[in-house]
Chain A
């Protein structure tokens, strides 16, 4: 799953929950899935940030 796919699914879940149409059982399941997606997305962003820091550090080191 890509970051964008996870992000999209997460937003759809939130919309469904906010509409109030989901029965309680389903709502709880959606919540759980939403938290899972949030964790996944956050990990991806943390990894991206790490990569940026690494590249920036390497670029700085290469400067005369």
Chain B
């Protein structure tokens, strides 16, 4: 629409009506969108063509006037009351006669707990189908984290609980805390950004902790961008959001879920006292083991050495015994023993006489006895 201005020299001036028409035509080019808020100041009168109410942002109190054709509004039979949460589908509009900006509603839906739950359920199914919650995606936590990241609210009891649990179990723990919004429309983006910031600082595990709260308080922890940020986090994430019965979607995407912030703290660090005790036990076992094996080798060597000392003597004794035996046999074989029994050896010259035919009568022979001997002459032969 062409808006006519009046020229006063070099100044262009618009009438109020022209200005409003101009702005109105600009606004009409904006797209139709969904806006969420709480219904307040609902005004409806039989003689008005439209129904009016103010849409209020429950987080920061921002207000937006809304108008909707009365017939259409009544047809919805929403029975809206002040404070009801609604989704309004409409486009911005300027009420030209009064220069008032408002949202022209084309459609209106109550958005209560049920709708919230349904939307959550749809998101949950979609992310599950993508495999974001799959068990095989879960990483195990580091046994001894070098640096622990903690994302939490700035004055939260959750923060204190996590820190207390960590330092009680493992006093030298290095914890990097990122304080951020944990509630409201900015929370999801802020927590996701805090996660990324902590990872840049080189943490090797992150705890996201938030104490209990209303269903709506915990909603940011089910927002898609935060759930994805947790799933994409390069280090394992422990989620401790809300109470046991709340299961925000970030719990499903996290590598481990803790029922409370204290439990999360205990999960990410080992018990130092226990660790030291175990180390001590292994250490004394080490010394005992070394001594035992030394003692074993010593005894073995000693036994072998004893056997070594005995062996040659044994050998000698055996040799000596064998020698004795041979001497015995030698002695048994010598003629001396025979002579003792009364036998005599008769020699003719150097020859031993074994037969009567070997000598002749009158021949001289030597007779050897056990003791001494004598010469003799043969009388006769037989």
Contacts and interface: CB of A to CB of B under 8 A. Distances in A.
Nearest to B297: A45
* A interface SS class: helix
A35 B297 contact: no
B307 interface: yes
Interface in B122-136: none
Contact of A42 (B301, B307, B316): B301
B318 interface: yes
A31 to B, nearest CB: 5
A27 B287 contact: no
A16 B345 CA distance: 49
B311 A31 contact: yes
A61 B210 CA distance: 46
Given A14-B304, A17-B311, A55 B287 contact: yes
Interface in B262-312: 283, 287, 290-291, 294, 297-298, 300-301, 304-305, 307-308, 311-312
A34 B319 CA distance: 21
B294 A49 contact: yes
Instruction: Tell me the interface secondary structure of chain B in the complex.
Output: helix
A18 B312 CA distance: 8
A27 B315 contact: yes
A49 B314 CA distance: 33
Nearest to A17: B311
A13 to B, nearest CB: 7
Given A52-B290, A52-B291, A52-B294, A27 B301 contact: no
A52 B312 CA distance: 35
Contacts of A52: 287, 290-291, 294
Given A49-B294, A55-B287, A56-B287, A20 B308 contact: no
Interface residues of B, number: 20
Interface residues of A, number: 26
Contact of B308 (A17, A22, A42, A48): A17
Contacts of A22: 315
B321 to A, nearest CB: 12
Interface string A29-42: 00100110010011
A24 interface: yes
A39 to B, nearest CB: 10
A59 interface: yes
Contacts of A5: none
A34 B294 contact: no
A42 B318 CA distance: 30
A34 B309 CA distance: 9
A34 B291 CA distance: 26
Interface of B: 283, 287, 290-291, 294, 297-298, 300-301, 304-305, 307-308, 311-312, 314-316, 318-319
Interface of A: 3, 7, 10-11, 13-14, 17-18, 20, 22, 24, 27-28, 31, 34-35, 38, 41-42, 45, 48-49, 52, 55-56, 59
15 contacts: A7-B301, A10-B305, A10-B308, A14-B307, A17-B312, A22-B315, A24-B315, A24-B316, A27-B312, A34-B308, A38-B304, A48-B294, A48-B297, A49-B294, A52-B294
Q: Which 8 A-B pairs have the closest CB atoms?
A: A17-B311, A34-B308, A14-B307, A31-B312, A38-B305, A41-B301, A14-B308, A27-B315
